[in-house]
Amino acid sequence: MEGKRLADPDLHRFNDGADKTALYDDHGIVPLIDTRGRRHEKRGGPMRPLDPKRHDTIYFSGTGEVSCKVNPFAATDRERFGPMQFMGFEEERQTLKFRCPAAARGVDCHNREACPAAPTVRDGPYERVVRVPLERDRRVFLPVHRHSRTFRHAYKKRSAIERVNSRIDQVYGVSSAISSAPCGT
């Protein structure tokens, strides 16, 4: 198992009690964690600064959506923040990579002067690129980014398997049979 990357069907949902960090770091098991507790909040809840120690234009939501503050004087978060384009997971750095929404999607950015990358990155085709380490928050930032097609596809498979397991449990009473079995059997 050591050194072997698990294939797509081997993606797992971690229980809250499991040591998720060790499962991924030691065994390469990629977590698929739903944000059930955050679904009631619009777009994952309030935006928080990615790096609270410095003044920056990059924020993230409770669902892991990384956004740039493109219009700081807008009335709503939807107008204020532009989601950054996900560019992939860098395994050697253990980071998720995101691209400036103005360069990626042509979003009209009213906050270019406040962007720390203004003097150095403006001329390139990618403009500002941000890397978010998984260590920032392992529950929010996953190796398979929650807002990517890969995550949605794998999560649908996981959900389908859980529905089948639930039906088996309901029809055959597997979990009640296991819980009522005497110890040692």
* pLDDT for residue 132: 92
Residue 85, judged by CB atoms within 10 A of its CB (0-12, 13-18, 19+), counts as middle
Give me the torsion for CA of 43, 11, 8, 39, rounded to 10°: -10
pTM exceeds cut of 0.85: no
CB 134 within 8 A of CB 142: yes
Q: What is the chain's percent helix, strand, coil content, to nearest 5? A: 35, 15, 50
Phi, psi at 168, each rounded to 5°: -60, -45
Residue 127 CB-half CA count within 13 A: 19
> Residue 41: which residues within 8 A CB-CB, separation 6 or more?
62
CA 112 to chain centre: 26
CB 66 within 8 A of CB 134: no
Type of residue found at 10: D
* Percent with pLDDT over 90 in the chain: 12
Over residues 151-179, the mean pLDDT reads 76
Residue 104, token pair as written in the block: 């990626």
Instruction: Give per-residue pLDDT as tens, 6-19.
Output: 444 444 444 443 45
Identify the band that residue 96 occupies on the pLDDT scale cut at 50, 70 and 90. Answer: very high
CB 28 within 8 A of CB 5: yes
CA 1 to chain centre: 25
Residue 93, token pair as written in the block: 């750095």
Helix (H) or strand (E) holding 25: helix 20-27
Type of residue found at 165: N
Identify the band that residue 88 occupies on the pLDDT scale cut at 50, 70 and 90. Answer: very high
